[in-house]
Amino acid sequence: MVDVLDSLRFPFEKKNIISFLILSVLNVIWYLLVPLVAVNGYVVMLIRNVIEKKQMPDWTKFKFADWLYLLKHGFLYSVIMAVYFAVPFLLAFLGTNNTISFGLILASFITFLFVMAVLPMALVYYAATESFIQAFNLPEIMLTIFRNIWKYLLVYFTSLALFVIALFIGQYLFYFAGIVFIFPTVFAAHAFAKILAETQ
């Protein structure tokens, strides 16, 4: 059973706190793009480590190959998110410029909800396999979700609540909002990765 409290404590454990703080700093300057890609790449490494029952990746021990891995997989992680969201946004765009706009906008809304539901596990599948194609293996991804539906919903709505809290706090931090947003990101990566790990 996924322990939500374990995922909440995870970034603050003694062995993980330095890596978490460095990740928070990088997330503050996400608008420079390269740090954003690095943060996403780190999330990929984090998910793999959770599945392999390891601690958070240690920035201080990174070698040149680790940085290349970070940037490569961070970029692909970002592309996967963009591809998933491209479909509902394309439907919404067509809906605003078409005589059958209601049908297209409704399809866009339904597709958006579907993307929001499956994307967390799709990203975990990518990180676990390092395969771009596996991120779009919807039958397997959905099967994993349905097999763990109550765990998945618990983690999903806990993550959502943390992001809403971070959004509320972040509006008062301006450029430093990235510090609070990284916590729900790490929580979600850890908790969703544990769901897949327990399924395998």
Instruction: For the beta carbon of residue 124, count every other beta carbon within 10 angstroms.
Output: 29
Which residue in this structure is represented by tokens 């599945």? 51
Rounded average pLDDT over 119-142: 95
The answer for residues whose C-beta is within 8 angstroms of residue 19's C-beta and 6 or more apart is 56, 57, 58, 59
Task: Answer for the pair 56, 19: CB distance below 8 angstroms, yes or no.
Answer: yes
Phi-psi region of 98 (alpha: psi -120 to 50; beta: other; left: phi over 0): beta
Residue 29 confidence (pLDDT) above 80:
no
Q: Name the burial class of residue 23, with classes exposed (0-12), middle (13-18) and buried (19+) by CB atoms within 10 angstroms of its CB.
A: buried
pLDDT at 175 (0 to 100): 61
Cα separation of 193 and 46, whole Å?
A: 9
Residue 32 confidence (pLDDT) above 60:
no
- What is the radius of gyration, based on Cα positions, of the chain? 17
pLDDT digits (tens, 9 = 90+) for 79-108: 999 999 999 988 888 777 666 677 788 888
Domain residue ranges of the chain, discontinuous segments joined by +: 4-199
